[in-house]
Amino acid sequence: MRLALIPLLLLVAACGTEPSREAVELAGAVRRDPAVARTMADRPFDCTVRDRACATLWLARGAACQDQGRADCAIAAFRQAEALTPAEAPAAERAEPAFRLADALERRRDRAVAEARRADNEAILAAIPALPAGAAAHYRAGVGLNRVLAGDVPPAARCAALGVVAADVAAAASALGLPPIDDRIAQRRAALATARAAQDPRCP
């Protein structure tokens, strides 16, 4: 009797370890057709296993929510995509959920105030260890600059803090396989220059 149960137990253990055929087909459609990807914000799907198809679907949902200005939806979806991306996926594919998460958090942070703003800064810092060094430096610089501009850093320490930001801006770079950020790095460099010029006494 016990031997007869073994195949059944193995079958039960295997359930839920692979995405459904419908999820795989939808992920393929998302990759092939941008019009399908744009529908993913509210399109129902069931995909919660660690697999590239599931990661694709959640990334597409996050991007679609981001395009609609739905920050909380985007952030939740990118976090799910990060959790479901297999460890054996290519490096850029593993980094993309964290990259998009950091970007979504930064956009929400820039509209937030008080504790919500500070919490988003902490969440950005928690996301960037998974990024290539140049992209991580870009988002880390954004956190440092935001903290100075928002008054989180005492006046006497601001020039030193901006010096750290400057080092990160200098190290910032687009990463192969991820969306380019060269224009945003240039914008951050200009914002840093403005912040330094505004200090009294001026930063060296």
Q: Check: CB of residue 135 under 8 Å from CB of residue 99.
A: yes
Q: Over 90: is that where the pLDDT of 126 sits?
A: yes
Q: Are residues 104 and 188 in the same domain?
A: yes
Residue 106 located in a structural domain: yes
Q: Are residues 137 and 201 in the same domain?
A: yes
Count: domains in the chain: 2
**CA distances from residue 81 to 74, 86, 115, 130, 194 in whole angstroms, order as listed:** 10, 10, 26, 13, 36
Residue 167 located in a structural domain: yes
Q: Check: CB of residue 58 under 8 Å from CB of residue 81.
A: yes
pTM for the structure as a whole: 0.90
Asked, as a colleague might, if the bond just before 201 is cis with ω within 30 of 0, I would say yes
Give pLDDT tens digits for 97-121. Answer: 999 999 999 999 999 999 999 999 9
Q: Are residues 121 and 198 in the same domain?
A: yes
Range of 121's domain? Answer: 91-204
User: Structure tokens of 138?
Assistant: 């870009």
Q: From 56, 89, 122, give the residue that closes a domain.
A: 89
Q: From 37, 56, 89, give the residue that closes a domain.
A: 89
**CA distances from residue 50 to 28, 37, 165, 185 in whole angstroms, order as listed:** 16, 20, 36, 33
Q: Are residues 186 and 104 in the same domain?
A: yes
User: Structure tokens of 66?
Assistant: 């981001």
Q: Are residues 114 and 200 in the same domain?
A: yes
Instruction: Determine the average pLDDT of the residues in 17-26.
Output: 94
User: Structure tokens of 10?
Assistant: 């193995």
CA 145, 152, 128, 33 torsion: positive or negative?
negative
Confidence category of residue 1, pLDDT binned at 50, 70, 90: very low
Residue 9 located in a structural domain: no
CA 134, 137, 139, 141 torsion: positive or negative?
negative
Residue 76 burial (C-beta neighbours within 10 Å; 0-12, 13-18, 19+)? middle
Q: Are residues 73 and 95 in the same domain?
A: no
